[in-house]
Structure 1
Amino acid sequence: MDTIFWFRRDLRLFNNFALYDAIESGCHDAVFCVTPEQWVQHGVAPIQVDLLKRRVAYLGPLLSEHGIKLHVLNCKDYTSSVSVLCDFISEQGVKSIYANKEYEINEQLRDSQFVSWANQSDINIHYYDGDLIAPPGTVTTKNGDMYKVFTPFKNAWLKQYQDTHFHFNALPDTFPAISWNCCDLLQSDGCSSKWPVDDETLSKVIHRFIDEKLTDYKESRDFPAVKGTSGLSPYIALGIVSTHQLVALVQQRHVDVLKSAKSNLFTWVNELVWREFYRHLLVAFPSLNKYKNFNEKYDAVKWRQDDADFKSWCEGKTGYPLVDAAMRQLNETGWMHNRLRMVVASFLTKHLLIDWRKGERYFMQHLIDGDLASNNGGWQWAASTGCDAQPYFRIFNPITQSERFDPKGDFIRKFIPELKNVPDKQVHFPHKYLASIGRSDDYWPAIVDHKAARERALAAFKV
């Protein structure tokens, strides 16, 4: 085997140019490294590990149909994966490796160690920027610096790509089919079964969103009781679908989608550009990988160390229905609506004045779409410590957020059935109503007063 492809978080055959070039170079073999101890160290959610393993198990026979054998290598962590992969390469006589880049700091360290060994062993490595439309460092200011505000970054990104019509490259001619048996290393006790991993179903999901929901996305995306989002974030996080592929599909229906950032149609693409922005930041400012505040002046904020309040937040027992319903959604399903991610993050960091890093870690441990760059960026945005973050004096009121985005309480009642008989107007903060009918025990009391919490947060951040 002269050439192999190294799968990482790019678990797809479509729009995988590194894989295509490997095949054109005669690649008959691919590898994937199972690294359970690294996943634990990174706090990867069990539901995401399960989705990842199911997808790799699906890819095995799919690759075999194209004459490519997938080798699943047993490694403890990234350090182990380097030595295991080097041994595999030496034993098999591999001369050339193709892979897509990963940008997080531990992944970069792993790759630098591997490159060092490969250079000494006369092995050719071909790395591609398959995770992004704009590779890190290609969208910069006139001085060559990384943008620190999203809108100028987006405008520069658009200027660079607005005249580009993205397209798919067909899978090149492959080889006669071979057999492949599922590896025991891909067995899992996770619970991602509600998320399909086959390409046929995913194609239907993608086209249904683009054909039927995209035009209404701007108006419906903030209402958690409505299925107005794409639901593709878990697949983007694992590279099962690529942003390049998604933008190309949108362009097939709406040719001018990149012509104006103000159009309704661009609103969803804008979310993909935010993802690119956070990834560029992760590369430009490596300290973000280490959970440092982007804005160092907020290092002076004295976060509260209150385990009881944090536990109440984690369990969805804050006494604020929208916050509690959102946390129940996360704990029960492994996913949370994007609007609610902002609401619960604001509540933890502003109302409870608890360090954003604790919330960020909890999200990673539970989200099926956990992604360091986006998760870190989103949490620092909510905590006002990040790049182009929400100003510290803008503090979400969880009651008015509930009244605005779940007006009839449909989402709240779905995850807090104890409130199913509370009238619509009272369901957003039901304590007085429940007390008036002698049912205070139906729902836990509010752990903090909104006005007092807001004043406490303002005082802490002003310092």
Structure 2
Amino acid sequence: MNLVWLRNDLRLDDNPALYHACQQGQPVAVLYCITPTQWRLHHESPIKLGFRQDALNQLGQALAQRGIPLEVIQAARFDDLPGCIVDHCIQRGIRKLWFNEEIPVDERHRDQQVVEALSDAGVRYEMQVSDQILPQPVFNQQGAYFKVFTPWYRAWLKQLPEIGDCTLPEPEAIAPPLPAPAAIALPGSEPYRRDLWPADEQHALSRLTHFVQERRARYSECRDIPSINGTSGLSPYLANGLLSPRRCLQVIRQLATMDGWEWRDDPWLRELGWREFYRYLMIGFPRLSRNQPFKLQTRALQWERNEEGVVAWQQGRTGFPLVDAGMRQLRQTGWMHNRLRMLTASFLCKLLLVDWRIGEAFFMEQLLDGDFASNNGGWQWSASTGCDASPWFRIFNPTRQSERFDPEGQFIRTLIPELATVENRLIHNPPPALREQLGYPQPVIDYRQARERVLERFRVLT
């Protein structure tokens, strides 16, 4: 029997390990490992675990229809898995374990430990290459890892045609249907916004097709406006492995071929490229998985201890309306618009001068689409500590950002009911008396003073 170990790849479509295991002409089972202590160490959010729980139960039913059982074992941490998995393989008579490669350091170390334990026990294994769009890293002319996104992206685009149509179909049924499996409950999981993101693979695929066909053309125009549905909304499905990034590429290329436009110029493909770039950096620079900045000189940056400011930021009570609206969206839905992720991260790191790692962990603890590589990359970009990051002297002005991206205050009013009646010209920075009247806080900082402070901190590092 072949055993497929699923981790962050909870799908039937374009799943290399599952597909190839099912092609062997032998019985197949699927394994999922519950590791609650490790999840807490990785700051996995309770709602993400709720989403994953639903996804597992949906997947278990789909696998049962194909004659494939979904089996579950539990261990506290990754370090406990080698013995547990080997014992499970021996008890079930498993001849070969299949799994897809993962990128972060802890996951790679876990897999190496499991491989060594399997070899000692005489159980074969097959690791499939990562389900990134390009399975192998792209290097510069010196054979080293790129450190800037744009030249990496050009090299990445050049190699995409070489891989052809690399996506794999769902596996066919390999045995008669099985009875419906028992429901799986994940420790620490909490309800999430099922109305916004049903944890269903078919919904993810349908949503991808709808976005590319109906809304992709206006993506550049709409993506920065938080009050409208201008983004794909697919990040929870990509982050939890219900959707393959290669499938996203394939759908883009198919539509481009049909409609006669150049798929390499697609702005949403560039965003998928950023997602791949952050994974690429995790491979080339393992310190990123160890709470270290990419720019090592920024380790000397003097951060502030500002517990009151952090709490105000977390609760959406900073007194800067668009920042607060973004943070309240995060707490209410488990998701935040990308423009607001940059703004709120910049506010914490640059204006409150709080260590980016505090914000990185808090986002992971709240996000439905928490993705370690992308979250780390985004926070280091905002803090000017990362690879190809925002220049250290770029400081987002929260009021100007609000006036530019929510000019009529539509998004602010939706998330901050205290300001629902404030007129457009005042909503981005209500006067003190009006704030007091409406119960909305005064600004926690003076923007100009905070800006000069962070600039001085960075100047001493240059």
Map 1:136-285 to 2 at 5 A.
136=136, 138-162=137-161, 164-166=163-165, 168-173=167-172, 174-186=174-186, 188-194=189-195, 195-255=197-257, 259=262, 261=264, 263=265, 266-285=266-285
1:9–1:239 CA contact under 8 A, matched in 2: yes
Following the alignment from structure 1 to structure 2, what is the Cα–Cα distance between the partners of residues 175 and 367?
38
User: Any idea what SS the aligned residue of 1:126 has?
Assistant: strand
What is residue 424 of structure 1 aligned with on the other side? 424
For residue 459 of structure 1, the aligned residue among 432, 456, 462 is: 456
The range that moved more, 163-172 or 303-312, is: 163-172
Kindly tell me: are residues 232 and 71 of structure 1, through their superposed partners in 2, closer, same or farther at Cα, counting changes over 3 Å?
same
Report deviation, 1:135: 2.5
Amino acid in structure 1 at the alignment position of 2:211: F
What is residue 2 of structure 2 aligned with on the other side? 3
Report deviation, 1:389: 0.3
Kindly tell me: are residues 55 and 112 of structure 1, through their superposed partners in 2, closer, same or farther at Cα, counting changes over 3 Å?
same
1:18–1:98 CA contact under 8 A, matched in 2: yes
Report deviation, 1:246: 0.8
Structure 2 residue 445 is the aligned partner of structure 1 residue 448: yes
User: Any idea what SS the aligned residue of 1:426 has?
Assistant: helix
Following the alignment from structure 2 to structure 1, what is the Cα–Cα distance between the partners of residues 32 and 22?
16
The range that moved more, 409-418 or 246-255, is: 246-255
Following the alignment from structure 1 to structure 2, what is the Cα–Cα distance between the partners of residues 258 and 347?
38
1:250–1:257 CA contact under 8 A, matched in 2: no
1:166–1:251 CA contact under 8 A, matched in 2: no
1:54–1:186 CA contact under 8 A, matched in 2: no
User: Any idea what SS the aligned residue of 2:426 has?
Assistant: coil
Following the alignment from structure 1 to structure 2, what is the Cα–Cα distance between the partners of residues 231 and 131?
20
1:161–1:258 CA contact under 8 A, matched in 2: no
Amino acid in structure 1 at the alignment position of 2:219: Y
What is residue 292 of structure 1 aligned with on the other side? 292
TM-score by length of 1: 0.95
2:432–2:442 CA contact under 8 A, matched in 1: no
1:147–1:153 CA contact under 8 A, matched in 2: yes
Following the alignment from structure 1 to structure 2, what is the Cα–Cα distance between the partners of residues 406 and 285?
37
Aligned residues: CA RMSD: 1.7
Following the alignment from structure 1 to structure 2, what is the Cα–Cα distance between the partners of residues 312 and 338?
21
Q: Deviations over 1:150-205 (max 9, x none)?
A: 00110000011145543643334322211132244347433242321223332332
The range that moved more, 366-375 or 67-76, is: 67-76
Following the alignment from structure 2 to structure 1, what is the Cα–Cα distance between the partners of residues 90 and 193?
36
The range that moved more, 23-32 or 186-195, is: 186-195
User: Any idea what SS the aligned residue of 1:254 has?
Assistant: helix
What is residue 308 of structure 1 aligned with on the other side? 308
1:166–1:247 CA contact under 8 A, matched in 2: no
Q: Deviations over 1:72-101 (max 9, x none)?
A: 112222122222111100111211111111
Map 1:20-419 to 2 at 5 A.
20-25=19-24, 26-136=26-136, 138-162=137-161, 164-166=163-165, 168-173=167-172, 174-186=174-186, 188-194=189-195, 195-255=197-257, 259=262, 261=264, 263=265, 266-419=266-419
1:303–1:355 CA contact under 8 A, matched in 2: yes
Unaligned runs of 5+ in 1: none
Unaligned runs of 5+ in 2: none
1:56–1:186 CA contact under 8 A, matched in 2: no
Following the alignment from structure 2 to structure 1, what is the Cα–Cα distance between the partners of residues 263 and 141?
22
Report deviation, 1:258: 9.3
Report deviation, 1:18: 1.7
Q: Deviations over 1:59-78 (max 9, x none)?
A: 11100111101101122221
User: Any idea what SS the aligned residue of 1:32 has?
Assistant: strand
Report deviation, 1:440: 4.0
Amino acid in structure 2 at the alignment position of 1:3: N
Following the alignment from structure 1 to structure 2, what is the Cα–Cα distance between the partners of residues 180 and 130?
30
Q: Deviations over 1:42-67 (max 9, x none)?
A: 11000101101110011111001111
TM-score by length of 2: 0.95
User: Any idea what SS the aligned residue of 1:189 has?
Assistant: coil
Amino acid in structure 2 at the alignment position of 1:158: L
User: Any idea what SS the aligned residue of 1:72 has?
Assistant: strand
Report deviation, 1:105: 1.2
Report deviation, 1:353: 0.6
Among the aligned pairs, what percent are the same residue? 41
Kindly tell me: are residues 154 and 221 of structure 1, through their superposed partners in 2, closer, same or farther at Cα, counting changes over 3 Å?
same
Kindly tell me: are residues 299 and 170 of structure 1, through their superposed partners in 2, closer, same or farther at Cα, counting changes over 3 Å?
closer
Following the alignment from structure 2 to structure 1, what is the Cα–Cα distance between the partners of residues 263 and 392?
30
User: Any idea what SS the aligned residue of 2:425 has?
Assistant: coil
Aligned residue pair count:
455
2:409–2:428 CA contact under 8 A, matched in 1: yes
Q: Deviations over 1:383-432 (max 9, x none)?
A: 00000000110111111110110011011011101001111111011125
Following the alignment from structure 2 to structure 1, what is the Cα–Cα distance between the partners of residues 27 and 310?
50
2:323–2:398 CA contact under 8 A, matched in 1: yes
Q: Deviations over 1:239-263 (max 9, x none)?
A: 10010011111111113999565x3
Q: Show structure 1 runs of 4+ deviating over 3 A.
A: 162-165, 183-189, 256-261
Following the alignment from structure 1 to structure 2, what is the Cα–Cα distance between the partners of residues 343 and 419?
20
Following the alignment from structure 1 to structure 2, what is the Cα–Cα distance between the partners of residues 87 and 457?
54
Kindly tell me: are residues 234 and 20 of structure 1, through their superposed partners in 2, closer, same or farther at Cα, counting changes over 3 Å?
same
Kindly tell me: are residues 172 and 448 of structure 1, through their superposed partners in 2, closer, same or farther at Cα, counting changes over 3 Å?
closer
Q: Deviations over 1:184-235 (max 9, x none)?
A: 4347433242321223332332222111100000110000000011111011
